[in-house]
Structure 1
Amino acid sequence: MRSGRPGPAPPGSGNGTMDRSLPEVHRSIGVPGRGRWVGRFLAFAGPGYLISVGYMDPGNWATDIAGGSRFGYTLLAVILLSNLMAILLQALSVRLGVATGRDLAQACRENYSKPVNLGLWIACEAAIIACDLAEVIGTAIALQLLFGIPLIAGAIITALDAFLLLLLMNRGFRFLEAFVITLLLVIALCFAFQIVAAAPPVAAVLRGFVPSPEIVTNPEMLYLAIGIIGATVMPHNLYLHSSIVQTRAYPETEAGRRNAIRWATVDSTIALMLALFINAAILIVAASTFHKAGHTDVTEIGEAFRLLSPLLGLGVASTLFALALLASGLNSTVTATLAGQIVMEGFLKLRIPAWSRRLLTRGIAIVPVVVVTAIYGDKGTSHLLLLSQVILSMQLPFAVIPLLRFVSDKRQMGVFVISTWVKTLAWLVTGVIVALNVKLLADTALR
């Protein structure tokens, strides 16, 4: 295995900007060297919220609604566990990007053979397509619910968002971050209102955060639990975070990098706590409305939309639900496009225009949605949405294991190598993910 470079290539060395992750915005945002901590915190605030988008995309909605309606508050423990996993893994992704000046895809390219890199690239592309599939379905459903646009037409319309990222990036990376944060606030406010309207019993909600053995012993519950993990811990987010943290122009010294790791980790942790609130809110609303009323088979977003207002007794509840779904789909489009660019450039050193890359990925995702909808109707898309999240979970080890190997390697990380207890905890998390995936495959094969 070839050893990786210990830090970012200085300007003008090697291949210049081609060596940098997302070269068009690399180190484009200034960081104050002195002053109050608030200034430094705000300078690093942003990338974590772009990452958090992947933890509350339309795929999460399907698994959270299905889990809440079918099993009440029980799977809240899985949402909490997966969020804690996400906080740890994203912190390691930040560390890799800041300490080495390389994103995860670049690190893989520099350290693994071409066949291994090709396999990892294919696995990551599959995860991005699965994520994009969820975005197409979620956005198309939101357009249908809000404006009455047929599902197939809505799926085709989503191809137009290929140009959204291009428009935002032309305004600057900070503008893109502000756009994403604004939509996140819309989602959070919509669900805060619904939580208040649903008035769930606090004691039952708190019990739901305590893990139950039934989660593992019940095959149907386990399938949904793995879907929640797949929908929450996104493999492409690990590539994305290790790249966009480098948009900050922190001092390229040991102290500068150490501060960058600290503040970027704080940023992602706060943002992921917002994701925890939204994911838990979706499940709690489903449990306190659908499960409580005896509607234990609600798995489709459209069905949830139709039932929400009558059960809560508020006409605006369903509209807010659909509005939040549309905001989620638009946000996910931005981050998936960025991740696709990072993965292609990092693994293959291949640069193509962002709009063409986006059209290609979105086109691949649209085809199965149109075909399944035409054959099976709206119900088929809900099964496709749940399946996409399980596929994402299956791809996790192919991103997590390389990440852990790199951040554990002192030759690459230098003084920023992770400690023994963090390494042990991270490998334990990886072991849990792999074990759950193996059990899911075994259960699926025996069905």
Structure 2
Amino acid sequence: MVSTHDHSKPLLLDSDRDLPEAAYDEADKVHVVGINEAGDDDCQTPPFSWKKLWLFTGPGFLMSIAFLDPGNLEGDLQAGAIAGNSLLWLLMWATAMGLLVQLLSARLGVATGRHLAELCREEYPTWARMVLWVMAELALIGADIQEVIGSAIAIKILSNGALPLWSGVVITALDCFIFLFLENYGVRKLEAVFAVLIATMALSFAWMFGEAKPSGTELLIGIIVPKLSSRTIKQAVGVVGCIIMPHNVFLHSALVQSREVDHTKKGRVQEALNYYSIESTVALVISFVINLFVTTVFAKGFYGTQIADRIGLVNAGQYLQEKYGGGLFPILYIWGIGLLAAGQSSTITGTYAGQFIMGGFLDLRLKKWMRALITRSCAIIPTIIVALVFDTSEDTLDVLNEWLNVLQSIQIPFALIPLLFLVSNEQLMGSFKVGPVLKMVAWLVAALVMVINGYLLFDFFASEVTGWLFSVGVSAFTSGYVAFIVYLVLRGINFSSWCGSKRSMVQ
């Protein structure tokens, strides 16, 4: 059911506690020119306007940061070094699958006026809601540790090693205050900062691409011709697995509420969906090109070499420097600048996502700065411990990264399953629910992503789990994990059936 709240009417004043936590206050939303024009048809979508597209542009680019975080960059460089250009087609299709999921998340947020965490709070019983919240927080913390470590590595590179990993973590932690400072100046100012960071990444990695001079023919063949071998299966799983981030699904459904949308008019809701679809597509095309730059640079320099299997985020800059030399500007520092932009932007969006996840699931009555501080502390404290323990060991950092990838992979069903059931619910979405074809495609994509991540989990635990006690613990966790996924699926099916029977009774 599409929200029909009339923003021209005053809000209820008898009890603030009865009002749910909103993603954005009305005063903070971006005013879209013509949004409150009188006399237009409620069901007619207004004609396309470049000015309106510009005003709606922003949320998709903030969302796209998750496709460019240090974890993705590490997946890119390893895929390039080990598989060459043979997985570029998979990178393209994985980005397309990610776009589909993010468009569904935006659709849910625009059509209902609420974000995914809020709707999960209303849809599920307390125990299930708390499990979903804990899982979302764990996914966010895992992603944040990778992003902060990535920033710290970049700071260490740019300081010529003068600043150790732990100090880079502390410096990166301060971005929380930068975020709080920028947020006070409005949504558009914050989005402008992210645009600069994305442009910095694009320029840095494009410069590297120019230095490497990869073959255009091989690049096109890699994009067009699907290739997969037993030797590159792990890299293929990594390419797909790191594209869809659980916290990003929650984030996008909240970001789209930063614009004024008159929910009393179907045409205005459809207009917002159209503009968000365009800007999200453009944002992810740009993210694909940036990821392609990184993959092809490492494919050109290290594919087929003896060191290909040893390249990771920690030593990638040094290997680049040894391969391509200094040039006009040392490529080591170009890599460091791009990595720093990726790490800083993704940690700030992680703080943003943490606000919405915590506020939505728990309906907290906390100031935004306090929620941001709590969210940042949850990630920074374990990250500092990790940095102190693993500062001098590249191998242990790689193992840590694998564990963090597993941590995020197991959370994916807990974002995708609720999203797909909610966006298919006619009672909630009204005429904006997904149609049968799109619903089938979305479930196929979700199933494919979950199967791929299931393979990653199986492969990881098969090699890492030793000892009967650890095996028993993993088996018990797996049983509970599968049981909860089955519960989410059955509840979604039963709820959909109940809604259908209720509509039949009304008719």
Fold shared by both chains (TM-score > 0.5): yes
Aligned positions, number = 438
Of 67, 73, 87, the residue aligned with 2:79 is 67
Runs of 4+ in 1 over 4 A off after TM superposition: 8-11, 13-18
Segment of structure 1 superposing worse, 302-311 or 411-420: 302-311
Contact 1:62–1:386 (Cα < 8 Å) also in 2: no
Q: Provide the identity percentage.
A: 34
C-alpha displacement of 1:230:
3.2
Q: Which structure would you say has the larger RCO, counting Cα contacts within 8 Å and 6 or more residues apart?
A: 1
The residue number in structure 2 matching 1:134 is: 146
Segment of structure 1 superposing worse, 40-49 or 296-305: 296-305
One-letter amino acid of the structure 2 residue matched with residue 134 of structure 1: Q
Contact 1:49–1:180 (Cα < 8 Å) also in 2: yes
One-letter amino acid of the structure 1 residue matched with residue 23 of structure 2: L
Provide the alpha-carbon RMSD of the alignment.
2.1
The residue number in structure 1 matching 2:303 is: 291
Contact 2:201–2:342 (Cα < 8 Å) also in 1: yes
Contact 2:176–2:372 (Cα < 8 Å) also in 1: yes
One-letter amino acid of the structure 1 residue matched with residue 135 of structure 2: A
Residue 278 (structure 1) aligned with residue 290 (structure 2): yes
Residue 21 (structure 1) aligned with residue 32 (structure 2): no
Higher alpha-carbon Rg:
2
In 2, the alpha carbon distance for the partners of 1:129 and 1:10 equals: 37
The residue number in structure 2 matching 1:394 is: 410
In 2, the alpha carbon distance for the partners of 1:441 and 1:41 equals: 41
In 1, the alpha carbon distance for the partners of 2:106 and 2:275 equals: 10
The residue number in structure 2 matching 1:373 is: 390
In 1, the alpha carbon distance for the partners of 2:252 and 2:259 equals: 12
In 1, the alpha carbon distance for the partners of 2:16 and 2:445 equals: 37
Q: Deviations over 1:108-153 (max 9, x none)?
A: 1111111111111111111100110111110110110001211122
Specify every segment of 5 or more residues in structure 2 that has no aligned partner in the other structure, as ranges: 35-45, 464-507
Contact 2:21–2:365 (Cα < 8 Å) also in 1: no
One-letter amino acid of the structure 2 residue matched with residue 225 of structure 1: A
In 2, the alpha carbon distance for the partners of 1:159 and 1:185 equals: 22
Residue 316 (structure 1) aligned with residue 327 (structure 2): no
Of 160, 168, 187, the residue aligned with 2:174 is 160
In 1, the alpha carbon distance for the partners of 2:453 and 2:198 equals: 30
1:365–1:59 distance in 2 versus 1, CA, 3 Å: farther
Contact 1:73–1:284 (Cα < 8 Å) also in 2: yes
The secondary structure found in structure 1 opposite 2:410 is helix
Residue 384 (structure 1) aligned with residue 400 (structure 2): yes
Residue 339 (structure 1) aligned with residue 353 (structure 2): yes
Residue 257 (structure 1) aligned with residue 253 (structure 2): no
Q: Deviations over 1:69-93 (max 9, x none)?
A: 1121122233212201111011101
In 1, the alpha carbon distance for the partners of 2:33 and 2:432 equals: 22
Of 227, 246, 250, the residue aligned with 1:239 is 250
Residue 7 (structure 1) aligned with residue 3 (structure 2): yes
The residue number in structure 1 matching 2:227 is: 212
The residue number in structure 2 matching 1:169 is: 183
The secondary structure found in structure 1 opposite 2:280 is helix
Length-normalised TM-score, structure 2: 0.82
C-alpha displacement of 1:197:
1.6
The residue number in structure 1 matching 2:316 is: 304
One-letter amino acid of the structure 2 residue matched with residue 316 of structure 1: P
The secondary structure found in structure 2 opposite 1:302 is coil
Contact 1:62–1:382 (Cα < 8 Å) also in 2: no
Length-normalised TM-score, structure 1: 0.92
In 1, the alpha carbon distance for the partners of 2:311 and 2:153 equals: 14
In 2, the alpha carbon distance for the partners of 1:336 and 1:173 equals: 16
In 1, the alpha carbon distance for the partners of 2:88 and 2:141 equals: 27
C-alpha displacement of 1:259:
0.3
